[in-house]
Amino acid sequence: MTLFTLPIQSSLQSFWSHLVHTYPWYITQIALPFLSLIGTYTVCSIIGVWMERDQWIRKYKLQPKRTNSSEKLYHATIYLLKIYFLVILPLYASAFSFLHKFGFSTSEALPDWRLMVVQLLFFFFMEDMSHYWLHRWLHTDFGYKHIHRVHHEFDAPTALATTYAHPAEIIILGLATFSGPLIVRPHMFVLFIWVNLRQLAALETHCGHSLPFSLDRIKLFGMQLFGGSSFHDHHHRFLDGAFASNFVFWDVLCGTDKGYFEREARLQRKRARLSKERSD
């Protein structure tokens, strides 16, 4: 263990040991993960509402001519409170209460932080793959009519509407979230980190803005790697492909990316033309 890794491992271990010795299991394994989800969702939603209405940030908005009304956001807030406390909380309480019986460790000793990073990367891969196929099913006639249409009431995404969905969709896409952990059966602390990272990624995807540091701006050999907000905004606006949650490769492999990348190419040509006209 190098000098660089010592602070990371010791800090994580100290934090987990403090939780284990200070609180009963239902606080560390149910209440804290749930409260952290509520906390990050609330903060990001407030920031998202502000971003929609701030004139300077508006230049990064992917659909600048559309603004979700206060009435619509209020309705979504009430709906989300029901979703989180009547659907997500019971699901998490059930899952986190029984997962240790399936090999999920609850020991005080944490695994090496590098192993945790590898596991989290695997979870992102598995979630992305599972989400892609489940999301495609939700866009079948039956899936969309009876379940997925609720989420698409927001054709201009905003962070607040990230989990605005039919209860059945919460359960279906929750299977994608837990697909990786059910294979690896990690330490519960890793699962705690994972569910929060997954929600943060979903909030970024639904923020409705492509900021200078947004994931969709990251390129690998000139190619877009992450779907990010622009990818999912295209999906909400046109209902045209872009089914994956984090990356673009499943859509590329299965041919459901073309609408997005063709539109992006047109926009880039338009920007280049306008830039040339200004310089002339």
Encode pLDDT of 5-53 as tens digits: 668 889 999 999 999 999 998 899 889 989 999 999 999 999 999 998 8
Tell me, yes or no, whether 239 lies in a domain.
no
- What is the arithmetic mean of pLDDT over 250-255? 93
Q: Identify residue 279 by its one-letter amino acid code.
A: S
Q: Is a pLDDT exceeding 60 seen at residue 72?
A: yes
Q: What is the pLDDT of the chain when averaged over all its residues?
A: 89
Pair 9, 1: CB distance under 8 Å: yes
Q: What is the pLDDT of residue 29?
A: 87
Q: What is the pLDDT of residue 57?
A: 87
Rounded CA gap, 53 and 268, in Å? 26
Tell me, yes or no, whether 110 lies in a domain.
yes
Tell me, yes or no, whether 275 lies in a domain.
no
Q: What's the number of domains the chain is made of?
A: 1
Tell me, yes or no, whether 139 lies in a domain.
yes
Tell me, yes or no, whether 152 lies in a domain.
yes
Domain membership of residue 150 as a residue range: 5-209
Res. 103 pLDDT band, cuts 50 70 90:
confident
Q: How many CA atoms lie within 13 A of 208 on its CB side?
A: 30
CA distances from 231 to 44, 70, 125, 152, 173 (A): 19, 25, 17, 15, 18
Tell me, yes or no, whether 273 lies in a domain.
no
Rounded CA gap, 183 and 99, in Å? 12
Tell me, yes or no, whether 227 lies in a domain.
no
Q: What is the pLDDT of residues 122-169, one digit of tens each?
A: 999 999 999 999 999 999 999 999 999 999 999 999 999 999 999 999
Tell me, yes or no, whether 215 lies in a domain.
no
Q: What is the pLDDT of residue 102?
A: 83
Other beta carbons less than 10 A from residue 273's beta carbon: 10
- CA triple 92-71-35, angle to 5 deg: 20
Token pair, residue 49, equals 């509402």
Rounded CA gap, 113 and 11, in Å? 10
Q: What is the pLDDT of residue 70?
A: 93
